[in-house]
Amino acid sequence: MPRLYLVTRADLPPGTQATQATHAALDFAVAHPDAFRDWHAESNTLVLVAARDEDALDRLCAKASAAGHRHVRFHEPDLGGALTAAALEPAAYRLLSHLPIALRGARGEVKP
């Protein structure tokens, strides 16, 4: 099942992580409409993971570029243009398997 991967930064507050990941997802839809449409039609499944910090996220994006994966980086103007999130196509899953799910243990998390 193809998944669209959203990567945020674990060093950001939970609300900021969610917002930045959403920005990245929407930018991916605009930048890669065919890939987004295919993903949406096949599964519509999102995975939200977290890189440790901005440097780790930047390195991940560089690896995605080097491997030829479609992705977008999101830089937040309100945070001085810092890289805060990225969205990666389903084929990039191998680059992301080591990352933890984002927002685990965040205050206010509803546990099943």
Sheet architecture: strand order including 82-88: 45-51, 3-9, 82-88, 71-76
Q: What is the model's pLDDT at position 24?
A: 98
**Which domains can be identified in the chain, with CATH numbers?**
3-96 (3.40.1490.10)
Q: What is the model's pLDDT at position 1?
A: 85
Tell which wins on pLDDT, 111 or 26.
26
Q: What is the model's pLDDT at position 110?
A: 44
User: Is residue 107 very low, low, confident or very high in pLDDT (cuts 50, 70, 90)?
Assistant: low
Amino acid at 59: R
Q: What is the model's pLDDT at position 112?
A: 45
CA distance 42 to 2: 7
Choice among 47-51, 52-56, 103-107 with the minimum mean pLDDT: 103-107
Amino acid at 42: E
User: Is residue 105 very low, low, confident or very high in pLDDT (cuts 50, 70, 90)?
Assistant: low
Burial annotation 51-71 (CB, 10 A radius, 16+ → b, else e): beebebbeebbeebeeeebbb
Q: What is the DSSP string of 5-40?
A: EEEEETTS-HHHHHHHHHHHHHHHHHH-HHHHHHHH
pLDDT, tens digit, 9 for 90 and up, residues 2-49: 999 999 999 999 999 999 999 999 999 999 999 999 999 999 999 999
Does this model's pTM top 0.85? Answer: yes
